[in-house]
Every structure is written in C-alpha cells, then in structure tokens.
Structure 1
Amino acid sequence: MSKNVAAKLRTGITPKQFIDGMTKNQDTFKGWYDAFTWQNAEDEEFYESLNNRDDLRCLIIAADWCGDVVRNIPVVFRLMEKAGIPTEVFIMEEHLDFMDQFLTRGGRSVPVVIIGDTGGYVLAQWGPRPAAVQAHMNAFKLENPDREASDYQEKIQIVRQKMIQEYGEGTGYQAVITAELRDLLAGV
C-alpha cells in the first residue's frame, strides 16, 4: 500500500520560515546553503527541467538540533528551488504522527525528504543522510541492537566520527545528495 500525505499538504512552514525560526545551528545551516554550487551542468539542467512539472511537492521532516539536517537540508532547499518544486518543512517534535509514518530502521531519524504528487501520494523518499554515510549507521545498529549496553555510547561516538569523515571536509558531499535525489526524481 502506498503512503498518502494529502492531509499534510499546505500545513507545513516554508524553507525561509524554517531558517528564520532556527534556535540552533542557524549560522552553520546558512553557511552550507550559501556554499552550495552545481558540480556539473547536467545536474543543474535536470533540476531546471522539473520546472515544467506542476505535479510534484516536497515535504521535509526536520529539526534544527540535528547535524544531518543542518548539513543536508540546505542542499535539498537549493535543489527544490532550482526545480520549482513547492517545499514545506515540518518540525519533527511538532509532527510526531507524521514522523512516525517515516521511521528509519524503526527510529525517528531526520531529515526525511518526501516527494509526493498534488494528491499527496508519496512517490519517493530520501534521508536521513547520503547512502554511504547512512551505511555506517546501519552497520552499527545491526551490530549494537541494545541501546542500554554499557559500551553503546562509546561505540556510537566512534560511528559518528566515521560518518563525519564520510561527509568529508568541504562541499563534495553536496554532489552526492544532488545525484541521489536526481535518481529518485528521475523515476517519478
């Protein structure tokens, strides 16, 4: 059964309202947003071509305290701007019912980027982070299912460092997100 988010359409906040309302990490978020550049003309042309479609909507579940939101959503905002896809944001803590429809391995992980049509049918979903970065967390969760284990916090810090290394120092990871979302959008 496909998911439908029609009840959420036009009930979120705009990307600008999200940024303006950030109480944490606003400067870092804006920094990644400002640092975005197109890595190749083909990607830019693809996103530009989506302006010919008026049937797509983007809904993002996010929280300003989350490092993955701060790093990844500026890229998504830029891509949706270029594509002309109406985008709205839902603060996770204010929309737990919505969040719980899009769990990652049974947990509440943000961001979640949902591409739907005007009727609210979910066509694609991305997040909470690029696949190569997420692979580290997936492996960790399989190897460490007990969150109460005495060494869990120590081990999760190690995997978080691996994830930061996977993102890399500069904006190269932004091209990865651009490609992953392009692949999703090409199929809708």
Structure 2
Amino acid sequence: MVKTKNKTCKASNTPVPILENEGCYDTWKGDIQRWEHVTNVIPSKRAMCIYFTLTGRARAAAYQVSIPNLMKADGVKTLLQKLDSIFLPDKDRRQYNAYHNMHKMMREPGNSVHDFICEYEFAYFRFQQEDMTWPDTVAALNLMSACRLSEDDLKIVLSAPKEMTYDNMKATLLRIFSNDKNKDSTGKKD
C-alpha cells in the first residue's frame, strides 16, 4: 500500500509516507495526516517535503500549487486540497467502492481464517468510514459467509455464539480457528 522507505525528509527522523498507487490515495492521505502529528519538520516546510516524494500525476498536480503557498504553515492543507480534487473520488463512488470491496471479499482456500479476519476488519472499517452500516446480525453472517468454511466448521461456528453479533462472530471464529493458521476451508493442512 503505502511505503515510507528511502524518502526521509532531512529535517525529520520520520519518513514521509509515499503515494505509490493513486488508487490508495485516501489511505495515503490518512498516513500524511498521521505523519504531521509525529514529524519534526516545521509546518512551513512539510508540504515541500511531501511534494518531493510525489511522482507522476500527483507530482504534476502538486506542481500547480505555488511555492509560496506550499511554504505556508497550512501548506499541507493546500496541497491535499489540490490532490483531493484530482484523486479523491466523490462520496457516492467511495461508498460504492467500500460496499463492493465488502461484497466481493472471500477467503481464499489455503489462507488462514485469522489472517482473513485481519483483512476483513480493514475492509469493514473502510465500509463504516463511509457512513454505511449493516445490522449487526447481517454483519456477523457476512463475516461468517466470507470465511468460506466447510460444512462441519460452519455447524461448529453457528452453535458457538450466544448472540449473533459481529463482535461475537469474530471472537468465535478467532477462538475456533486460533490453532489452525495453516488450514484451508476444507480443514486440511497446507
């Protein structure tokens, strides 16, 4: 996703997050906002540090922001506004993308349930970040279904939770499959 290697701004020990994929712009933007809280770079030089890490279309867009505007204390805000206008999809598109990612998310045979839940949690977080929710039971059943369990495992999982909630389902799956990090959906070891 977002790398921070080899692009350290000289005035800071904390590397500037790198925008490697324009499709991950919103994640990168969040990383930049977090970076601002930990960097030693003075506010008037932060936007320039970010500018020098950009490449391609992002660099071309950032080039359109004047140096004096980049050198202001709120230069990062100005730079991000410019990049938002090009790379941040509108709210409807972001909601569709988050929903689509949740809907198509399925554990691949051979992947552990534990690892899949970590990936799923991030997608579910992004889904909720776009002001969308599912009823708790639907969220629980969607998680269970996305795990692509064998019939035997499905019976065990369905008998375990006291109440069908997302948190209970996640806890049940993690508990049942905690020792099975290398099992696939049929219960066979890789």
Q: Provide the TM-score with structure 1 as the length reference.
A: 0.22
Structure showing greater relative contact order (alpha-carbon pairs closer than 8 Å, 6 or more residues apart): 1
Q: Rg larger in 1 or in 2?
A: 2
Give the TM-score of the pair, scaled to structure 2. 0.22
* Larger strand fraction of residues: 1
More helix by share: 2
